[in-house]
Amino acid sequence: MNLESLKYPIGKFQRPGEFNPQTLRSFIADIEQFPTQLVKEVGPLTPEQQDWKYRPDGWSIKQVIHHCADSHMNSFTRFKLALTEENPTIKSYLESEWAKMVDYEIPVIHSIKIIEGLHYRWTAMLKNMSAEDFNKTFFHPESKKEWSLYLTVALYAWHCNHHLAHIRQAVKNSGEF
């Protein structure tokens, strides 16, 4: 496998076309099912196996899980900001630096609990948003672009599946990296 396919085992994020309720339901289902899928993949792993990496110079399974908790908390907050303010400028963060912090060494169960509770709340919010709500936006200072909540829910559905694929890849390769 080449490095690009190891980085993006399900491919890079593809922007969806215009708003589509059926596609939206699929995105929401991916976000709703992520905690269950995560537990299914990680539950059988030992702490040593959780240190396996999905690619050379990549994150360990443990780091991926802690990253998902951080990233999804940030996204949930961005949704709330966009739903309650007019095109707010969100705060970006250095995820690679966050991954070096001491809380990325704690047992993954703590981030899994965050993800379970957060995704329950996030899904409840998503299922009760109107089509107009999904057109609301926030400004991302790093990309210097407005992001609609429809585009963001698509991105995070992809993000869930992207990192599940990383975990599966690390397990399949038995920590080869």
d(CA 96, CA 87): 27
pLDDT digits (tens, 9 = 90+) for 26-76: 999 999 999 999 999 999 999 999 999 999 999 999 999 999 999 999 999
For residue 77, report the phi and psi dihedrals to the nearest 5 degrees: -65, -40
pLDDT for 177: 86
Contact (CB, 8 A) for 73 and 122: no
pLDDT digits (tens, 9 = 90+) for 137-166: 999 999 999 999 999 999 999 999 999 999
pLDDT digits (tens, 9 = 90+) for 70-116: 999 999 999 999 999 999 999 999 999 999 999 999 999 999 999 99
pLDDT for 55: 95
Contact (CB, 8 A) for 55 and 7: yes
pLDDT for 134: 98
CATH of domain 36-172: 1.20.120.450
Average pLDDT in the chain: 96
CA 32 to centroid of chain Cα atoms: 12
Contact (CB, 8 A) for 134 and 79: no
